[in-house]
Chain A
Amino acid sequence: SQKIEQNSEALNIQEGKTATLTCNYTNYSPAYLQWYRQDPGRGPVFLLLIRENEKEKRKERLKVTFDTTLKQSLFHITASQPADSATYLCALDGGSGNTGKLIFGQGTTLQVKP
């Protein structure tokens, strides 16, 4: 069955550094991958989408890469700030036959210290 893995351990970094979060998947080939941010007690908020034929996507201080050979996406936040502290979820499309559904990873919590 389809499986998504994100680092379950929290990532703690110093303000100004680059945070890198990992999303690995197995057993299928998604057409696209999305990253969401979730603050405690609130709903996830969409950040970025990258398609299978794209290697990299950027938005302001955010960068996402998608390696379909390694079955991995990396999510980078450059010049991190304490306000970036949150849980970040990756989500993949459900594959052929599951159009319109997303499969979410369990999320990685990022803590940026001043």
Chain B
Amino acid sequence: DADVTQTPRNRITKTGKRIMLECSQTKGHDRMYWYRQDPGLGLQLIYYSFDVKDINKGEISDGYSVSRQAQAKFSLSLESAIPNQTALYFCATSDPGQGPDTQYFGPGTRLTVL
């Protein structure tokens, strides 16, 4: 089984809808991250969490919110989706106890906002 899973894998929604992307991990890592990827722009950090009670904004958090329900679960919500949030979204985990933060990524969610 995959260590980092994301659901759904693909989602098409309409402008103004609220949607949630979910991430689960079995690696036992405390640190979790949400990124979005647009063609030619690389990975941009949306939110990150170093433990269940520690949540921080990344460089592009506007229009997004997160919830860390447990060590293993980190959800990303779009409160009112807009077309320019169409992108590929990745969840990642890391464990500082293993040295520098090497990150382990999920398979991604392709989101389309019409």
Contacts and interface: CB of A to CB of B under 8 A. Distances in A.
Pair from one complex: yes
Interface of A: 8, 31-32, 34, 41-46, 49, 51, 89, 91, 93, 99-102, 104-107
Interface of B: 4, 31, 40-43, 45, 48, 50, 58, 88, 90, 92, 94, 96, 99-108, 110
Given A43-B92, A43-B107, 17 more contacts: A34-B102, A42-B107, A43-B105, A43-B108, A44-B90, A44-B105, A46-B102, A51-B100, A99-B96, A99-B101, A100-B94, A101-B48, A101-B58, A101-B101, A102-B103, A105-B42, A106-B40
B100 A49 contact: yes
B43 A44 contact: yes
Given A43-B108, A100-B50, A107 B42 contact: yes
B100 to A, nearest CB: 5
B108 to A, nearest CB: 5
